[in-house]
Amino acid sequence: MKKILGIALAGVMMLSMAACGSKEEAAPAETAAPAAEEKAEETAETEEGAVYTVGICQLVEHEALDAATQGFKDALIEKLGEENVVFDEQNAAGDSNTCSTIVNSFVSKDVDLILANATPALQAAAASTTEIPILGTSVTEYGVALGIDNFDGTVGGNISGTSDLPPLDQQAEMVVELFPDAQKVGLIYCSAEANSQYQVDNVKAELEAKGLEATLYSFADSNDIASVVQTACDNSDVIYVPTDNTAASSASIIDGVCRPAGIPVIAGEEGICAACDVATLSISYYDLGFATGKMAAKILTGESNVAEMPIEYAPQFVKKYNAEIVEDLGVEIPDDYIAIE
């Protein structure tokens, strides 16, 4: 955007010079020629050394989102060079309204691209601009997040990105594999996160198809999570937590309720598992962010059009377990699980 503005201004200046020449005596040819050559050299220099400004709106600080942001930045620096990209990185501290404020500031600054890390950040960005390219990451299901019916994998317009959607049927199977005697599963999630609702609804259906009783327990924010988790523990043999940002930032609270009660937790992602869960089927959020950064580089350099870029998904998922909690609860872990370091 900045390059285009510079070229446009140069054009205006050249027209102004021409206009002045019509009223006054024209400059000698030997003077005008070097000036034109100098202007061309300046334009070429600007294009070759373009500096792109990228706004990063991250919903909240926790391990998974932090890793995605870092991967994104590392990829852009690797592809464009550290001297050619400036990051305006801001954190909304878990408040979706703050996401809107942050993104609006990016729009007013006319940044070259916006990274929306997590669903509320993506929703805020989509509502704020239809012109600046937006890439989401750590977003589970774009059709749900953006209200797109029959989503076919490509958002179109100025939005694309990467998804952290895990294989929910395999996560449900993990509950049965590790806890074959369990009859009741409590699924806890933040009601303000649309993608969390999507996950628990699907996992609930998978568990019920396997003959288990699955009950949803929602909390509005971190203020009531302890009481909701306690209720779930009192009525469940196992707890399931999806890739939920509020749960991730409050994982120590979940652990403080579930572990003393002897109730195991299965998580949707590794960051939550490392803090409060027995096991997870998870992705590398750093790799997810890195893939998003590579997409951003292609958009900024004009190699790809954001409107035509399909959503990219994690290439692989790994079964992992929390060795400390496994030992505390006496859970037997199959050989194909890897301990979280």
pLDDT digits (tens, 9 = 90+) for 233-261: 999 999 999 999 999 999 999 999 999 99
Distance CA 271, CA 126 (A): 27
Digit-coded pLDDT (tens) for 138-151: 999 999 999 999 99
Question: What is the C-alpha to C-alpha distance for residues 335 and 61, in angstroms, rounded to an integer?
Answer: 33
> Would you call 275 helix, strand, or coil by DSSP?
helix
Band (24; pLDDT cuts 50, 70, 90): very low
264 three-state secondary structure: coil
How many percent of the chain have pLDDT more than 70? 86
The boundaries of every CATH 3.40.50.2300 domain in the chain are: 52-164+284-310, 168-282+318-339
DSSP string, 21-64: HHHSPPPPHHHHHHHHHHHHHHHHHHHHT--EEEEEEESS--HH
Mean pLDDT for the stretch of residues 51-62: 96
Identify the weakest region by mean pLDDT among 24-28, 57-61, 151-155, 334-338: 24-28
φ/ψ of residue 196, rounded to 5: -70, -40
Q: Which stretches of 118-179 are assigned E, i.e. beta strand?
A: 134-139, 159-163
pLDDT surpassing 90 at residue 170: yes
Model pLDDT, residue 48? 56
CATH code of 52-164+284-310, in short, is 3.40.50.2300
Please write the tens of the pLDDT for every residue from 268-301: 999 999 999 999 998 999 999 999 999 999 999 9
Q: Where are the beta strands (DSSP E) in 171-304?
A: 184-190, 213-219, 238-241, 265-267, 279-282
Please check the confidence at residue 311 and state whether its pLDDT lies above 70: yes
What is the model's pLDDT at position 115? 98
Tens-digit pLDDT profile for residues 62-110? 999 999 999 999 999 999 999 999 999 999 999 999 999 999 999 999 9
Kindly indicate the confidence band of residue 221, based on its pLDDT and cuts at 50, 70 and 90: confident
Rounded to an integer, what distance in angstroms lies between the CA atom of residue 76 and that of residue 293? 5
Name the E strands within 132-172: 134-139, 159-163
Which residue did the predictor score with more confidence, 8 or 128? 128
pLDDT of 8 reads 41
The yes/no answer on whether domain 168-282+318-339 falls in CATH 3.40.50.2300 is yes
pLDDT of residue 10: 40
Q: Mean pLDDT in the chain?
A: 88
d(CA 223, CA 250): 10
